Amino acid sequence: MERIDAYWRAANYLAVGQIYLLDNPLLTTPLTPEHIKPRLLGHWGTTPGLNFCFAHLNRIIRERDQDLIYIAGPGHGGPGAVAHAWLEGTYSERYPDISQDAAGMRRLFRQFSFPGGIPSHVAPETPGSIHEGGELGYSLAHAYGAAFDNPGLVVACVIGDGEAETGPLAASWHSNKLLDPTRDGAVLPILHLNGYKIANPTVLARIPTQTLVSLMEGYGYRPHLVGPDHQEMADTLDTVFDQITDFQQGRSDRLPMIILRTPKGWTGPGVVDGLPVEGTWRAHQVPLAKVRENPEHLAMLEEWMRSYRPEELFDDDGRPVASILETVPPGNRRMSANPHTNGGELLEPLRLPDFRDHAVEVKAPATQSTEPTKALGRLLRDVITANPRTFRLMGPDETASNRLSAVFEVTDRAWNAQLEPTDENLAPGGRVMEVLSEHLCQGWLEGYLLTGRHGLFNCYEAFIHIIDAMFNQHAKWLESSQKIPWRRPIASLTYLLSSHVWRQDHNGFSHQDPGFLDVVVNKKASVVRVYLPPDANTLLSVGDHCLRSRDYINVIVAGKQPVLDLFTMDEAIAHCTRGLGILPWASSDQGNDPDVVLACAGDVPTLETLAAAALLHEHLPDLRVRVINVVDLMRLQPPSEHPHGLPDAEYDTLFTTDKPVIFNFHGYPSLIHRLTYRRHGHANLHVRGYKEEGTTTTPFDMAMLNDIDRFHLVMDVIDRTPGLGATQAHLRQRMTDARLRARAHTREHGEDAPDIREWTWPDRFSS
Amino acid sequence: MERIDAYWRAANYLAVGQIYLLDNPLLTTPLTPEHIKPRLLGHWGTTPGLNFCFAHLNRIIRERDQDLIYIAGPGHGGPGAVAHAWLEGTYSERYPDISQDAAGMRRLFRQFSFPGGIPSHVAPETPGSIHEGGELGYSLAHAYGAAFDNPGLVVACVIGDGEAETGPLAASWHSNKLLDPTRDGAVLPILHLNGYKIANPTVLARIPTQTLVSLMEGYGYRPHLVGPDHQEMADTLDTVFDQITDFQQGRSDRLPMIILRTPKGWTGPGVVDGLPVEGTWRAHQVPLAKVRENPEHLAMLEEWMRSYRPEELFDDDGRPVASILETVPPGNRRMSANPHTNGGELLEPLRLPDFRDHAVEVKAPATQSTEPTKALGRLLRDVITANPRTFRLMGPDETASNRLSAVFEVTDRAWNAQLEPTDENLAPGGRVMEVLSEHLCQGWLEGYLLTGRHGLFNCYEAFIHIIDAMFNQHAKWLESSQKIPWRRPIASLTYLLSSHVWRQDHNGFSHQDPGFLDVVVNKKASVVRVYLPPDANTLLSVGDHCLRSRDYINVIVAGKQPVLDLFTMDEAIAHCTRGLGILPWASSDQGNDPDVVLACAGDVPTLETLAAAALLHEHLPDLRVRVINVVDLMRLQPPSEHPHGLPDAEYDTLFTTDKPVIFNFHGYPSLIHRLTYRRHGHANLHVRGYKEEGTTTTPFDMAMLNDIDRFHLVMDVIDRTPGLGATQAHLRQRMTDARLRARAHTREHGEDAPDIREWTWPDRFSS
C-alpha cells in the first residue's frame, strides 16, 4: 500500500510539474518566478483521482497478470495520463528525447500545454490512450467497443461526474445488455464523483447515495462505494475483479462498477486567497493562478509540490526510485503500452470474399432494377462468415430497414437480455449491434476500430447528424494520429447511409437532410472519402474498397429501394476506380464535343438525369448531350485540395471549359460549387439538389419539389444552352405542362413516376 | 369508463382509417380494393397506446380542470394525434375543409401520408403539438422546457421504449433536478413499454421489472406500473395527479411517473399470414400490407375496423356521437387546442433595456480592449431583471467560462438538488440552466420557446455540433410552421458561440471546429441568420436585434477574451444595420478605387486583418487598401438566395469586380466561397480561414498555423495584387522572416502576438 501511495504521489507531482514548471523539475533549488510558465494551463481538478485509480489498477495487473486498459473519461486529466506513461517508461520509448531522468522530466514539464508542445488533454499523442475526452460523453461506449471480442481484456473506464450528465454517457450504461460474458471482455466503470464541473456541482454527486445506488442497479450493475482511502480502494478492486470473473463464468448476471468519491483537486491547495479550493469547483483548472506574480502563490506551489516528498520518489538523476518502478507492470501489461491502445499493432486485414461473386448480372444498362443495399447485405454476410471475431455491423435498429438482412442468415443481433419465444435473430455474441442510439453505435465502433478490429455503421442519412460531433472528434483523432509515427494505421470507419433524403415515402420532412456530407468535407482531405454509388454493382465495388482502407472515414450514400442497374460488374469496377465517367449509352455526343453536360451523383438524381437525357434525345435528337456520373465526390476537387482530385486537364476534357453543365446532386447544391469553384468551367456550372422542400411523398414528387426532376432538367438545358432558349420555348412549355400533370397525377393517385425503362435511349435508338 | 373506452375506440378507428382508406370512411358498404390507398404508409404499432393515454388524460382534465398538454415522444403515432384533434373539433377549426362529418372524415383519411397531404408524423401541421418525434430522443427535454415557469401546467410526456434508448432521453430524466416545484409546472413522464422498435425488442422492456423500477427511482421519480387496463390506468392517474400536487406543495420531493406496458399494435390483427403481429415488432408500421391485392387481408382489415364498432361511435353523418363529444374538455382545455402548444399565441415581447446603456466608450478605434461577452453579460443581466419569468439562459456549465457572469448578480443557476455551504449562485427558480449536456440545453430551450417564452443558449463553439441534429429538427419545424397560418410566430432560438476555434489556449485541437455555421446555412434562408460581431459594441447591437426577432435561428459567434474596440455604439449600430462596411480609419483608399480589398469576419481574423493593413501602410504607403468587416454573414449572398443579401450593385461597389479580395474568415474558408460564388468578383476572391490545423497554443500561433496571420495576409496581398509580386519580393521575404521569428518566439516563451495597439494606422499617420 505504501508503494501504491508513493507511485500516486509521484504521478501527482509530475502532473503539477507539467502544469506549472518551465524548469527546476526536481525542486533542487527554491522555486523562483523564472521557473514558472508564463501561461498556466491545464486541469488539475480531476487528475489526482485519475492517478489514484491508475495506481491501484497497476497492482491488480501485476497480481493477476490481468490484460487491462484504461480509459480516462475526464480527458482534461491529461497531465496524469502523461505522468503514468513517463513513470512506466513508455513515454521515453515513444519519445526518446523525453528521457526518464531529470533532463527528460524538465522537457516533459515544459512541453505540456505549451506552444509547439503537447495538448493539455489525453490525446493521440498520449501512449496508452484510445480516448481523448475533450468532448465529453463517449468514454463508456469506447470502453465497451474495446471490450467486444476481447475475452481476456478488462477495460477500466473512469467516468467523470460531469461527463455522466451527458446524453451519450447516460445511454452507454445500457451497453451491458449487448455484452457477451464469455466471448467479450469486461468493462469496469468507475464513476468518479469529485463533485464539480467547471463552475457547478454535478447532479450525481448531489443526489442521495441510495438513489445513486438505485440508478446503477437500474442500469444493471453491482455498485460498490469507495471513498478517498487506499485500503478501501484496494479491497474493492479485489472484490470487483472477482465479481468480473463470476460474471464471465456465469455465476453472476451483472458486472460490478465502482462509485469513487474523492475531493476535487485532492491533495492540492486547500484555501487560496481566503477561498476554499480543494473540494470545490475552484480546483477545476489551475488552483494557484498568479504564481509568477504573487510570491505567496509561489510559496504555496512549492509547499504543495514538496508535500509529495519528491526526494523519496526520484533519485538524484530524476529517475523514479526502484520501489516505484517495481509497481509498474512489465512490458505490454503496462496500461500505457498495452497494444490494444495502439490498435494498428494488432490489426489483421479482413478476409474479404470476392465481391464480384455478388455481382448483379446486367445485360443492358437501365433495363432492370435491384435494391443496392440488399446486394451489399450479401457481401457483408460473407464478410461476417469469413471474419467471425473481428467484424461488427452497427446500426440504430435499422439494419433490416436498410435491407441488409442477409447478414441474419449467418449471425444475430447481439443480445444478452431477456428472450421471448417470438424473437428472431437475437443472441449473445451476434455480429449486429443495434440499439436506438446513433451515439452508442458510433462510440462502440470507434472503440472497436481503435483496438484493431473492423466494422461498418449503417444509418438513416438524416439522423447521422446525431453523431456529427463524434465524427468530428474521431476525424481529428485520425488527423493527429497520422502525424504520430508510432500510431499504427487502423481500419477506416465506414458509414453506409441509406433511407436517404429522396426516399422518404414513409416518413417526411424531418427525415430529409443530406448535410452530413458538408460536415465531413470540412475535415482534412487526408482522412475523408465520400462515395455515391448509383447502383448495386458500384455499391459492391465501393464497399469492398472501403473495407480494405485504413485511417479514413468513408461515407457511402446508397439506396435501399430498387434502382436501375447501370453497370456490369466490370464496368462498375472501372467506373469506381476512375471515380467518375461518361455514360456513353445515355449520351448523344458520340465522342464529340457536347453541347451540354448532364452530370449527376446519387441514385435518384442519376435516375432523373437519365430520364432527362432520354427526353432530350426524343425531343432534340440533334443536341449533343453528355451524361457524366460521379461516384467518388472528392474527384471533383483539384488535386491540390484532395489526393483523389482529378487533374484540371482531365476535368476540363470531361466537363468542358465552356459548355453548360447541369449537375444533379444528391445533397445540398452548394457542396458541388464548393468542390468545383476553382475549376475552369465553374461559371457554366448549374447545380440542382435538395433545397429543403419535402414531406411524406413519392420520390418523384420529392424530385419535383426540389427541381431535380427530369422535366426541370430539360428546362434547365433549354435555359442554359445557347440558342435553345429562343427556339425551344414550345418544348419548355411542354415540359412545364408535363410536370404539372405528373404532379397532379401523384397527388391524385399517390403513385410514383412513370418507369423510365420504357423510354428511348440514344444507343438503342441508333442500333 | 365506458365513455373513455368509446373515445379510445373512436381514436383507434380513425387512426386505422388514415393509414388505409381512400374512401368509404364509415364502412357504410363492404370494403373493396378501390377504397384502399395504393401505398400503405404509417405507423400503427405505437398508436393505440398513445390513444389510450390521451383518452384517460382527458378525464383528468375535465374532472380537475387541469391545464395539461401532451407530448407524444413516438411521433410516428401521427394518425393518433390527428384523430384526437379531429375528435376534439380542433382539426376542423384549424382546417375547415376537414369538417367533423363523413365528408371531412374521408378527407382526413385521404390526406394522411399522401402526396400533397399531411406528414405521417406528429408535425407542426398537427394541432396541439410542440414536438414532432421523428428524430427520437427529445420529448422529455421538450416537456421540461414547456413546464418551466408555467406553474399551473402539467406536461404529460409519453416516452416510447425505443426513444428511451437514446442518449438525450436517457439524460433528460435528470431534468427534475432543475425543476422548481412551486414556480414551475410539472412533468408527468409516461414510459410506454410496447416492447419493440422497428425490428428489435427494446432494452427497457427486457430487463426485470424491479431493475426498471430501480432505474426510475435512481432518476428520482416515484414509478407506477400500469398494464393494458382502463381501470388500472384511471386509478393510477388519480394517484399520480395527487402526487404531483404533493410535490408542488412540498409534501413529497419526487415527481411521479408511469410505466405503461401494452402490446405493440394493441387491438390490431393478432396473426397475419401465419405470423404473430400484435405484440411483436411486426406491428410497427402497417400490420396488413397487401390489402389491395390480397382479399384475405382486405377482409381482415374490415374485421379489424369493425371491431371498434364504428356504428356506436359516429352518427350517420359521421359526427362523433354525443357521449364521445362529452368526454372532450372544453375550449382551450382541449389538449389539441391548448394555447401553450401554439406558443406564439401567448408570446409577449421581452422588455428590453436599452442596450446602448451598456456601450463601451470608444474614443478611437483599436486603442483599447474589452471582453465582448462580458459586456453582453451585463445586458443579459438586465434582460433577466426586466423579464423575471419569461427568459432563461441555457449553457452546458459554460456561462461563467463564457464570461457572462454578470447575470449572477441578479439570478442563480436553477438547482433543486442538495446544497453545500461552499455553493454559490445555486437556487430553485434560477434563470440560468446548466448541466453538462448540450442536448438538454437545446431541448429545454426549444420547449420553452415553443410555449411562448424567450431565451438564449451559450455554448463553446466546437461542441455545438453535439446538437446539429436537434438544430436541424428545430429549423425544419420553423420552416414548416412559417407556412401554417394558424401557427403564430415564436421567439427566435439564439445561440451565442464563444470559446471559439481561435481561442483554445486551454484546450486544443479537439475544441476547434467552426463548422456549425456550415450546418446552419444549409437550412432555409427564411429561418437562419449568422452574425460575427468583432467587438463589444457590435455584439451588444447584434444581441439586442436577435432578442427581438421571431421565428429565426440566430447564430452569434463572439469572443470572450479581450478584443480591440473598433466601433463607438453609434458606429456599431450603423455597422450592424448595414451588416458589413468599410473601416475607413484602417483603409488607405481614401474613398478612391482600392488596389486591394482586405475583408474579414470574426474577431481574431479582424485583428489580424487590421494588423496586416497597418503593415501594408507602413511598408507600402502608396498601396490603396480597403478594409471591410462583415458582421452579418448572410449579406454576402445574393438577395435571390437570402433576404439579407446585398444587392449586386452594392456588393460590387464595396468589393469591386476586378480587384483582389483577401477575405480573412473565422470559419472554414469554403463557406465564404459558397456564399459569394455568384458574385462578379468571385474569381478574384481569396479566402483564408480555419483549415484543421491546431493544438493547445496561443491565438497568434493558431493564426499562423492556419495562414490567417497578419504576415501571411501581407504575403497574400503581394502575391495577388498585379505588379507587387515582382517588385515586392523583398517585403515578402521580410514577412516570411517575421513570421518565423514570431513563431519561434511563441514557442520559446509561450507568449502571444505583439499588441497591435502600438502600430501605425493610416488615419493617424495622415493626421
Is the Cβ–Cβ distance between B80 and B47 less than 8 Å?
A: yes
Residues of A with CB below 8 A from B522's CB?
Answer: 513, 515, 518, 668, 670, 692
B530-555 per-position pLDDT tens digit: 999 999 999 999 999 999 999 999 99
The interface predicted TM-score (ipTM) is 0.96
B373-415 per-position pLDDT tens digit: 999 999 999 999 999 999 999 999 999 999 999 999 999 999 9
Mean pLDDT of A516-540: 97
**pLDDT value for A757:** 55
Whether the CB of B206 is below 8 Å from some CB of chain A: the reply is: yes
**pLDDT value for A552:** 98
Residues of A with CB below 8 A from B422's CB?
Answer: 276, 279-280
Q: What is the dihedral of CA B207, B209, B212, B217, to 10 degrees?
A: -160
Residues of B with CB below 8 A from A401's CB?
Answer: 198-199
A158-167 per-position pLDDT tens digit: 999 999 999 9
How would residue B764 be classed by pLDDT, with cut points 50, 70 and 90?
Answer: very low
**pLDDT value for A764:** 40
Select the residue from B20, B110, B161, B422 to test the A interface by mutation, using most A Cβ atoms within 10 A: B422
At B412 the three-state DSSP class reads coil
Comparing C-alpha atoms, which of A341, A381, A330 is closest to residue A88? A330
Among the ranges given (A99-108, A482-491, B3-12, B699-708), the one the predictor scored with the smallest mean pLDDT:
B699-708
Q: B696 is written with which cell numbers?
A: 493547445
**pLDDT value for A195:** 95
3-state helix, strand, coil in chain B (%, to 5): 45, 15, 40
Q: Considering CB atoms only, which of A174, A466, A692 is closest to B524?
A: A692
B342-385 per-position pLDDT tens digit: 999 999 999 999 999 999 999 999 989 999 999 999 999 999 99
- Chain pair A-B, CB pairs under 8 angstroms: 356
Mean pLDDT of A494-506: 91
**pLDDT value for B759:** 52
**pLDDT value for B715:** 97
B580-638 per-position pLDDT tens digit: 999 999 999 988 899 999 999 999 999 999 999 999 998 999 999 999 999 999 999 99
**pLDDT value for A756:** 58
Mean pLDDT of A93-100: 97
Contacts of A352 (CB under 8 A, 6+ apart): A383, A386, A544, A547, A548
How would residue B745 be classed by pLDDT, with cut points 50, 70 and 90?
Answer: confident
Q: How many CB atoms lie within 10 A of CB B370?
A: 19
How would residue A146 be classed by pLDDT, with cut points 50, 70 and 90?
Answer: very high
Q: Is the pLDDT of residue B427 over 80?
A: yes
Mean pLDDT of B210-234: 98
A232-266 per-position pLDDT tens digit: 999 999 999 999 999 999 999 999 999 999 999 99
How would residue A728 be classed by pLDDT, with cut points 50, 70 and 90?
Answer: very high
Residues of B with CB below 8 A from A472's CB?
Answer: 462, 465, 513, 515
φ/ψ of B79, rounded to 5, equals -60, -30
CA-to-CA distance for B196 and B205, rounded, in angstroms? 8
Q: What is the dihedral of CA A421, A422, A424, A429, to 10 degrees?
A: -30
Q: Which of residues 252-291 of B touch A (CB under 8 A)?
A: 276, 279-280, 285
CA-to-CA distance for A483 and B278, rounded, in angstroms? 55
Q: B483 is written with which cell numbers?
A: 407556412
3-state helix, strand, coil in chain A (%, to 5): 45, 15, 40
A41–B506: do the CB atoms touch at under 8 Å? yes
Q: Is the pLDDT of residue A212 over 60?
A: yes
Q: Which domains does chain A have, with CATH numbers?
A: 2-338 (3.40.50.970), 355-563 (3.40.50.970), 580-765 (3.40.50.920)
What are the b/e assignments for A198-218, b being 16+ CB within 10 Å? Answer: bbbbbbbbbbeeeebbbbbbb
At B219 the three-state DSSP class reads coil
Q: B591 is written with which cell numbers?
A: 474613398
A570-619 per-position pLDDT tens digit: 999 999 999 999 999 999 998 889 999 999 999 999 999 999 999 999 89
Residue whose C-alpha cell reads 480555419 in the numeric block? B690
At A553 the three-state DSSP class reads strand
- Helix/strand/coil (H/E/C) assignment for every residue in A62-89: HHHCCEEEEEECCHHHHHHHHHHHHHCC
Is the Cβ–Cβ distance between B73 and B158 less than 8 Å?
A: yes
The pairing of strands A625-630 and A580-582 is antiparallel
Whether the CB of B746 is below 8 Å from some CB of chain A: the reply is: yes
Q: Is the pLDDT of residue A767 over 80?
A: no
Name the β-bridge partners of B564: B369
Whether the CB of B219 is below 8 Å from some CB of chain A: the reply is: yes
**pLDDT value for B763:** 47
- Amino acid in the structure at residue B30: P
Mean pLDDT of A121-128: 94
CA-to-CA distance for A453 and A346, rounded, in angstroms? 8
Q: Is the pLDDT of residue A766 over 50?
A: no
Average pLDDT, chain A: 94
At B579 the three-state DSSP class reads coil
**pLDDT value for B352:** 97
CA-to-CA distance for B58 and B66, rounded, in angstroms? 9
Mean pLDDT of A370-385: 97
How would residue B511 be classed by pLDDT, with cut points 50, 70 and 90?
Answer: very high
DSSP state for residue A532 in the 8-state scheme: -
Residues of B with CB below 8 A from A505's CB?
Answer: 39, 41
CA-to-CA distance for A182 and B470, rounded, in angstroms? 38
Among the ranges given (A75-84, A149-158, B661-670), the one the predictor scored with the smallest mean pLDDT:
A75-84
What are the b/e assignments for A716-753, b being 16+ CB within 10 Å? Answer: bbbebbeebeeebeebbebbeeebeebbebbbeebbbb
- Return the axis-axis angle of helices B729-749 and B710-720, rounded to nearest 10°: 160
DSSP state for residue B513 in the 8-state scheme: -
How would residue A747 be classed by pLDDT, with cut points 50, 70 and 90?
Answer: confident
A436–B136: do the CB atoms touch at under 8 Å? yes
Q: Is the pLDDT of residue B575 over 90?
A: yes
Q: What is the DSSP string of B230-277?
A: HHHHHHHHHHHHHHHHHHHTTS-SSEEEEEEE--TTTTS-SEETTEE-
**pLDDT value for A413:** 97
CA-to-CA distance for B492 and A328, rounded, in angstroms? 57
DSSP state for residue B36 in the 8-state scheme: B
Q: Which of residues 485-514 of A touch B (CB under 8 A)?
A: 505-511, 513
Distances, alpha carbon B466 to alpha carbons A146, B167, B505, in Å: 23, 11, 22
Is the Cβ–Cβ distance between B382 and B399 less than 8 Å?
A: no
At A563 the three-state DSSP class reads strand
Q: Considering CB atoms only, which of A115, A413, A507 is closest to B134?
A: A507
Among the ranges given (A347-351, B39-43, B125-129, B601-605), the one the predictor scored with the smallest mean pLDDT:
B39-43
- Amino acid in the structure at residue A637: Q
DSSP state for residue B201 in the 8-state scheme: B
Which chain B residue is nearest to residue A172, measuring alpha carbons? B167
Is the Cβ–Cβ distance between A542 and A573 less than 8 Å?
A: no
A690-714 per-position pLDDT tens digit: 999 998 888 888 999 999 999 999 9
**pLDDT value for A337:** 98
The pairing of strands B186-193 and B153-160 is parallel
Sequence-ordered strand ranges (E) for A184-293: 186-193, 221-226, 255-261, 271-272, 275-276
Q: A434 is written with which cell numbers?
A: 443495434
**Separation of first and last alpha carbons in chain B:** 88
Is the Cβ–Cβ distance between A285 and A43 less than 8 Å?
A: yes
Q: Is the pLDDT of residue B758 over 60?
A: no
Average pLDDT, chain B: 94
Select the residue from A110, A459, A507, A706 to test the B interface by mutation, using most B Cβ atoms within 10 A: A507
Is the Cβ–Cβ distance between B663 and B694 less than 8 Å?
A: no
Among the ranges given (A48-52, A618-622, B176-180), the one the predictor scored with the smallest mean pLDDT:
A618-622
